[in-house]
Amino acid sequence: MMALRDNGPLLEVEGLTQKYGHQIGCEDVHFSLYPGEVLGIVGESGSGKSTLLRCASGLMQPTAGTVRFDTRVDGLQDIYALSEAERRMLMRTDWGIIFQNARDGLRMNVSAGANVGERLMAVGERHYGSIRDVSSEWLEKVEMDLGRMDDLPRTFSGGMQQRLQIARNLVTKPRLVFMDEPTSGLDVSVQARLLDLVRGLVRQLGIACIIVTHDLGVVRLLSDRLMVMRRGRVVEQGLTDQVLDDPQHAYTQLLVSSILPV
């Protein structure tokens, strides 16, 4: 996948602030994301990284600031100024969201194949055979046993559910995928395999990605750039290796020396 505009950002976040009453979810966050780029957002729980992800992914309207996305037809558009119909269309075609809890991202009462095929049907595909072919293709890409295609997700392990979520999101070849703690709650060995898979797919398809995690291992493996959040604010950002190997902010230094509780 090549970006439509070679030079411009895919997503542009400016002055993003979310308040819950007097409490600050996140405050005055700025960043741009370019096509094919992977951005990691790290911080301990309560640092505001999940709030930021929800605001940036269209799930929660921020108190202030803008989130602009490079739409295929009209270029950069404030996603909260779009009509709900347009926003929902965007979310099921050009965007993907992979939730920490697979139950939030999958239809647990329909088969794996239907979970993957849903987006195709939502954009008008009406040929059962080809929906099935494309679904199988994607299940293979995420290394799932095709024999399980007609099984319900609840019969799957946590790692399989996450892989199914990935297939379900990538089937419409989105340009941007949000991931919220995609590997937490999984065994270490399963995590490693999943991360490997995600890295492969993201590179191969040139998908831009925002990954929120408390796990520095995840961002070291996947992300090009890194943002460190604390108490709702971005305290440091830069190239991943640079931030992790030569942290400037005292908090990042603490984080990197891994003495912080997650």
Partner 1 sequence: MYVAVKGGDKAIENSLHYLADIRRGDRRVPELSIQQIREQLPLAVDRVMTEGSLYDPDLAALAIKQANGDIQEAVFLLRAYRTTLPRFGASQAIDTGAMQIRRRISATYKDLPGGQILGPSFDYTHRLLDFTLAANGETPEAPTSEEPVADGMPRVADILDHEGLIELDLPDDEDGPVPDLTRESTSFPADRATRLQNLARGDEGFLLALGYSTQRGFGNNHPFAGEIRMGELAVSFEPEELGFEIEIGEITVTECQMVNQFKGSAKVPPQFTRGYGLTFGHCERKAMSMALVDRALRAKEFSEEITAPAQDEEFVLYHSDNVEASGFVQHLKLPHYVDFQGELVTVRELRKEIAAREAAERTDDDELAAAE
Partner 2 sequence: MSMTQEAQPWQAPEHDKPVEQVEGYNFAYLDEQTKRMIRRAILKGVAIPGYQVPFGSREMPLPYGWGTGGMQVTAAVIGENDTLKVIDQGADDTTNAVNIRRFFAKTAGVATTEKTSDASLIQTRHRIPEKPLTDDQILIYQVPIPEPLRWVEPRETETRKMHALEEYGVMHVSLYESIARFGRITTAYNYPVQVNGRYIMAPSPIPKFDNPKMHQMAALQLFGAGREKRIYAVPPYTDVKSLDFEDHPFTIQSWEENCALCGADDSYLDEVITDDAGGKMYVCSDSDYCAERREAGHVGDQGEPQTPAQKGAAE
Beta strands, E only, the chain: 11-20, 23-33, 38-42, 64-71, 75-78, 95-98, 176-180, 208-213, 225-230, 233-239
Among 111, 136, 184, 242, the residue binding partner 2 under the rule CB under 8 A is 111
- Minimum Å gap between C-beta 24 and partner 1 is 11
Question: Residue 6 phi/psi, 5° resolution?
Answer: -65, -30
Number of residues binding to partner 2, judged by CB under 8 A: 23
Q: Which does 22 bind (CB under 5 to 8 A by kind): partner 1, partner 2, none?
A: partner 1
Number of residues that bind partner 1 (CB under 8 A): 4
Among 6, 22, 73, 129, binds partner 1 (CB under 8 A): 22
Residue 40 CB burial class (10 angstroms; 0-12, 13-18, ≥19): buried
Q: Which is nearer to partner 2, 22 or 126 (CB)?
A: 126
Query: Is 147 among the residues that bind partner 2 (CB under 8 A)?
Result: no
- What letter would DSSP give residue 155? G
- Of 22 and 126, the one with the shorter C-beta distance to partner 1 is 22
Q: Are strands 11-20 and 23-33 parallel, antiparallel or unpaired?
A: antiparallel
Binds 147: which of partner 2, partner 1, none (CB < 5-8 Å by kind): none
Rounded CA separation 27/14 (Å): 10
Query: Which span sits near partner 1 by CB under 8 A: 14-22, 59-67, 127-135, 223-231?
Result: 14-22
Distance CA 255, CA 42 (A): 9
* Residue 258 tokens, joined: 């891994």
Check residue 108 for interaction with partner 2 (CB under 8 A).
no
Q: What tokens does 182 get?
A: 């995609």
Q: How far apart are CB 12 and partner 1 at their closest, in Å?
A: 29
117 near partner 2, judged by CB under 8 A: yes
Nearest approach, Cβ of 178 to partner 1 (angstroms)?
Answer: 23
Shortest Cβ 83–partner 2 spacing (Å): 9
Candidates 21, 124, 129, 261; binder of partner 1 (CB under 8 A) is: 21
Is the separation of the CB atoms in 99 and 165 below 8 Å? yes
How far does the chain reach from its first CA to its final CA, in angstroms?
A: 36
Amino acid identity at 160:
M
Provide the CA 233 distance to its chain's centre, in angstroms.
Answer: 20
Residue ranges that bind partner 1, judged by CB under 8 A: 20-23
Residue ranges that bind partner 2, judged by CB under 8 A: 84-85, 88, 92, 107, 110-111, 113-114, 117-119, 121-123, 126-129, 131-132, 149-150
